[in-house]
């Protein structure tokens, strides 16, 4: 590494260029199965006569990489970005009806950049992200804070956010598995065959158990959106679904989108009924 950096210094001297050490960072990744520790003070790297700073995490190509090789920091960064997007949406479109805000939410607050490579077995961080998404959707539809999670998905007309993350991950794996690049195919196949020793293999195995589909089938054909919807609806009771549908109609009445002839319901009446049905 020092030889490579010295080549950069020589190149800069020959062509009157300078390299900014502040724009470069150094991370030390320790081996998983060894007690040997590499100390920063033993590895001083210099560029342009300035030392390169050691950090425990840094953003690279939009992903936050840390020395522990976990997704915690990257997921936290996406979660903070999502909170900002939700606040901006609610602030700028507070006067429009909930259905319009729902559509805007799905367009502008559902990019989830980098979620395809998250470790889905990192339950706590992923669930924190999903919780933030659900809180935002409750604000979009002006639902009570204690609205049941499944009711939020039914009202919004979407599959659970965790299933959406699984769906995007599996589509990513499928595209890489059938990539035109021999290197990409090789890396993905090795990751899947390694199973629990690889984040990619853990994700595919996790989804195989979750959806009852073999690993081979997950890597050869995509699961349709209707498959995820059926998987979600299968776990719901008929009575619960009927309650949510009634609540949805009350939301439409509250928004003055729907009216029932001969029935006078005030906004307060609708809010109370919605709370009783969804909480």
Q: How far is CA 206 from CA 52, 129, 192, 193, in A?
A: 40, 18, 11, 14
Shared-domain flag, residues 222 and 272: no
The model's pTM: 0.87
pLDDT, average across residues 110-135: 93
pLDDT, average across residues 55-71: 89
Is the predicted pLDDT of residue 150 greater than 90, yes or no? yes
**What is the chain's alpha carbon radius of gyration, rounded to the nearest angstrom?**
25
**Segment 246-274, tens digit of pLDDT:** 999 999 988 888 777 767 778 888 899 99
Greatest alpha-carbon pair distance for the chain in Å reads 87
201 lies in which domain range?
165-231
Residue 266 lies in a domain: yes
User: Mean pLDDT lowest for which of 77-86, 161-170, 208-217, 262-271?
Assistant: 262-271
Number of structural domains the chain divides into: 3
Q: What are phi and psi of 98, to 5 degrees?
A: -65, -35
**Segment 37-52, tens digit of pLDDT:** 666 666 789 998 899 9
Query: Exposure string (b/e) for 101-128, b if CB count within 10 Å is 16 or more?
Result: bbebbeeebeebebbbebbbebeebbee
Shared-domain flag, residues 112 and 152: yes
Spatial neighbors of 30 by CB under 8 A, at least 6 apart, are 36, 37, 38, 67
pLDDT more than 70, % of the chain: 95
Shared-domain flag, residues 249 and 151: yes
Shared-domain flag, residues 101 and 50: no
Shared-domain flag, residues 145 and 251: yes
């Amino acid at each position: 590494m020092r030889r490579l950096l010295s080549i950069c210094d020589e190149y800069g001297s020959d062509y009157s260029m300078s390299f900014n050490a502040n724009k470069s960072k150094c991370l030390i990744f320790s081996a998983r199965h060894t007690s040997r520790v590499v100390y920063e003070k033993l590895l001083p790297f210099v560029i342009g006569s300035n030392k390169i700073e050691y950090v425990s995490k840094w953003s690279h190509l939009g992903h936050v990489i840390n020395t522990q090789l976990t997704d915690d920091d990257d997921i936290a960064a996406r979660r903070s970005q999502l909170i900002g997007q939700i606040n901006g949406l609610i602030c700028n479109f507070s006067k429009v009806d909930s259905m319009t805000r729902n559509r805007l939410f799905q367009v502008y607050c559902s990019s989830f950049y980098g979620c395809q490579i998250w470790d889905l077995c990192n339950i706590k961080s992923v669930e924190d992200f999903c919780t933030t998404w659900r809180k935002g959707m409750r604000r979009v539809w002006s639902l009570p804070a204690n609205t049941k999670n499944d009711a939020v998905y039914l009202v919004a007309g979407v599959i659970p956010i965790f299933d959406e993350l699984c769906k995007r991950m599996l589509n990513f794996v499928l595209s890489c598995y059938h990539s035109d690049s021999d290197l990409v195919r090789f890396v993905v196949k090795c990751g899947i065959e390694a199973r629990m020793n690889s984040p990619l293999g853990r994700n595919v195995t996790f989804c195989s158990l979750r959806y009852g589909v073999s690993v081979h089938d997950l890597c050869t054909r995509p699961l349709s959106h209707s498959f995820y919807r059926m998987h979600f609806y299968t776990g719901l009771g008929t009575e619960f679904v009927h309650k949510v549908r009634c609540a949805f109609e009350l939301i439409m009445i509250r928004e003055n989108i729907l009216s029932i002839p001969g029935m006078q319901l005030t906004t307060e009446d609708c809010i109370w009924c919605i709370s009783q049905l969804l909480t």
